[in-house]
Structure 1
């Protein structure tokens, strides 16, 4: 991980595409370790509480690595937070992560570097192996809603397929 970070930090705009295309990562071991993607996006998220009824409360200070060219938390980082934290609200320990089926996000206001965010994720409903979650990202200082997302996921059934 440190090698990749050093590599990316030393890239100039002129050789960015060429050097990034030569990056090689060891294969990811699912459920055994976080992926590069998960590590990058979720590093710094603190779970504050988990309440009955599948509600997850987190806090997050916006780091420089997730800021876009305009100095704001990037839309991709917000989508990743909705994806990962929405899935965490319904995840059952010892089971594979559920697969995202659909996600919609309303980007309402901006968050800047070092803003403290509150992220609330809750299960909205379940029908069979299909779950729906809602994720609300709010600026802790101003109270403004940064984004609101809905996330639908599918989990593998407990019984084996008959195909």
Structure 2
């Protein structure tokens, strides 16, 4: 069936222009890809407070922060806050849950379709601001005009606040909460909970 084939193609990312770049990345590259640019403002017992400007590399098809990136932030920061409680290890994940309550936007909804002849400003459809568009990036990726990526300028990106709290750190189980909020509006973007099994220290 045609619709099943389209599903397969959307999931199986082969023969893509970026395939070589992805395969050449070093091992354990997921954390720096997601965490690059995160700023830590406070670390105390049971609490980590950060801010993060949503970068274009973490967008989904709707031009908002990808849900997988949000889950990764919950994973990493939920583990990190366990260390603030004096734990020597953060153990292994038992469960991660995320409630997505709002979108972390980049300051626009869409752009008017056009073919770029260089780095140009594009008019935003929904808001009276502009975004920029890299001709070099799209040409290297072999994108057709209808497939080209539109990147927001830094001044239009949304900054979010991330608060990670240790809810419980026992001998065997630790539970942390991670909340993402829009700094501009105060709206909660996502709430996550990370449960970890702490490997018991040997008494020998």
2:55 paired residue among 39, 57, 63: 63
Is the counterpart of residue 82 in structure 1 residue 125 in structure 2? Answer: no
Change (3 A) 1:159 1:142: same
Shift of 1:94: 9.7
DSSP 3-state at the match of 1:90:
helix
Unaligned runs of 5+ in 2: 1-12, 107-156
Shift of 1:106: 0.5
RMSD: 2.7
Name 1:31's counterpart in structure 2.
Answer: none
Post-superposition CA distance 1:64-122 (Å, at most 9, x none): 00011111101001100111111110126894543111011110000023211000001
Report 1:1-80 matches (<5 A). Answer: 15-16=15-16, 19=19, 23-25=23-25, 28=27, 35-52=28-45, 54-80=46-72
Contact 2:82 2:90 in 1 (8 A): no
Distance 2:172 2:80 in 1: 15
| Gap change, CA 1:100 and 1:17, over 3 Å in 2 | farther
Taking a change above 3 Å as real, the CA distance of residues 62 and 21 of structure 1, as seen in their structure-2 partners, is: closer
Runs of 4+ aligned residues of structure 1 deviating over 6 Å after TM superposition are none
Larger Rg: 2
1:91 to 64, 67, 83: 83
- TM-score normalized with structure 2 length: 0.62
Secondary structure at the aligned position of 1:106 is classed as strand
Q: TM-score, normalised by structure 1?
A: 0.76
User: CA 1:152 to 1:62, structure 2 compared with 1: closer, same or farther past 3 Å?
Assistant: same
Provide the secondary structure at the position in 2 that maps to 1:120: strand
